[in-house]
Amino acid sequence: MLADIHHHFVYGVDDGARNEEVMRQMLTRAYDQGVSELVATSHATPGVEYFPYETYLEHLKQAKAFVNENGYDMNLYPGCEIYYTDDAVRLLNEHKIPTIGGTRYVLVEFSPRDDYDRLLDAASVLGRAGYQPIFAHVERYECLNRMERLEELHDDMDIILQVNCSTAMDHGFFSSRWFKKAMKMELIDLVSSDAHNVSTRRCRMMTCYESLKADYGKETALRLCRETALEILSRAKPLK
């Protein structure tokens, strides 16, 4: 079974599931796509927008109840996708935004046009505070078109690098070329769905796994779609 650490299925808190019914559809879709470990990474913008933690947890519990009622063999974990700001560490330390499953792992995103120094600063600040950053959908950042920068983050700063399923399966010239080069240099750590609904941005974890297996072999596909994520979740606490 597969593990998806980037998924916006909790309704009523961000631009993911718009209501409880869509959340249920997304959970069913994830289960049908072979996902057994699923992290609820709703958007958080520390110091800019209030993160509705109580609502988030209430709706996450509703999700868990639905999973249990339908006999889905699926663990759900709290988390969020942090749009990096100068207040990120403070609010993490104050437990006002969740880490992944209560661990020190944090999923972090940036503006596509942020300069490279911004990413380096985030890596340093979060690392010094004792957090292990996972940079979300790294294919989106213009400053990481240069492979030596991706390599510095991955090899020198120990940042975990995540790409979306859509990128791993994309056969467009530029995105495919970037992904193939990053894969050849072994710079991609995991693939996640970044699902927001069941139509335009649906979970495609099994579809992506099969595509990666055909292109790179079973061992690599398992590493990207399951093993690295399981390592991240090995000390996490699934919702009961």
Q: Encode burial over 94-124: b for 16+ CB neighbours within 10 A, e otherwise.
A: eeebbbbbebebbbbbbeeebeeeebbebbe
Element counts in the chain: helices (H) and strands (E): 10, 7
Over residues 55-99, the pLDDT tens digits come to 999 999 999 999 999 999 999 999 999 999 999 999 999 999 999
3-state helix, strand, coil in the chain (%, to 5): 50, 20, 35
Average pLDDT, the chain: 97
Q: Is 222 exposed, middle or buried (0-12, 13-18, 19+ CB in 10 A)?
A: middle
Contact (CB, 8 A) for 225 and 168: no
What structural domains does the chain harbor?
Answer: 2-233 (3.20.20.140)
Over residues 11-70, the pLDDT tens digits come to 999 999 999 999 999 999 999 999 999 999 999 999 999 999 999 999 999 999 999 999
Query: What phi and psi, each to the nearest 5 degrees, are found at residue 6?
Result: -140, 100
Residue at token pair 């299925």:
9
Query: What phi and psi, each to the nearest 5 degrees, are found at residue 77?
Result: -130, 145
**Is a pLDDT exceeding 90 seen at residue 240?**
no
Q: Is 217 exposed, middle or buried (0-12, 13-18, 19+ CB in 10 A)?
A: exposed
pLDDT of residue 103: 98
